[in-house]
Amino acid sequence: MRSAGELVVDRRVHGAEIARFRSHIVCGPMTSDCDIWTGAIGADGYGRFYLTRGGSGLCVRPHRYALAIGSGVVSAGVLGLHECDNPVCVKIASATDPHQHVVSGSQGDNMERMARMRRGGGRYAVRRFDSRGLRRERSVALREAVRHGWDADAVQAALLGDQPTLW
């Protein structure tokens, strides 16, 4: 897997690009809710945001782009990690909303989190429902649940998928 290069997002230079990025986000009504990416989703269940800079096309992860908007730059090798465990979430902390769903981290941090969440690595067995295809299905269902505005019941159904509940 190729590591992520440096990503610079200057609010003045990339204003139109940022506006296009934001047009693909639906924010949850509660401060604890995710902000959902409604643009392209790859086979791995993570979003895709396509840029053209200097005449060249570039595909970036939307959650990493959100981090770059917040800080201006995300260094090479720095990943966006989902504390909320939702691959289409692009919510970062702000002055008005301290709920941080996407945080910066290294690949080592990502692997530690993966083991802690029992998605492989380490001594933990991989959870059946975290396979790549099922993650994509969940992401697409979540995108569709908010595409025309936040639908709390549809969001809940997309997040639960086919997992049994206690109620």
Angle between helices 132-146 and 152-160 (to 10 degrees): 180
**pLDDT for 124:** 46
**pLDDT for 162:** 60
pLDDT more than 90, % of the chain: 65
Give the least confident one: 20-24, 35-39, 71-75, 81-85: 81-85
Q: 3-state secondary structure string, 59-118?
A: EECHHHHHHHHHHCEECCCCEEEECCCCCCECCCCCCCCCCCCEEEECHHHHHHHHHHCC
pLDDT at 126 over 50: no
User: What does the mean pLDDT of the chain come to?
Assistant: 87
**pLDDT for 143:** 96
Model pLDDT for residues 139-158, shown as the tens digit of each residue:
999 999 999 999 999 999 99
> pLDDT band at 121, cuts 50/70/90?
low
Provide the token pair at 35: 């902000």
Model pLDDT for residues 10-63, shown as the tens digit of each residue:
999 999 999 999 999 999 999 889 999 999 999 999 999 999 998 999 999 999
**pLDDT for 1:** 38
Would you call 7 helix, strand, or coil by DSSP?
strand
Residue with the larger pLDDT of the pair 73 and 133: 73
**pLDDT for 4:** 74
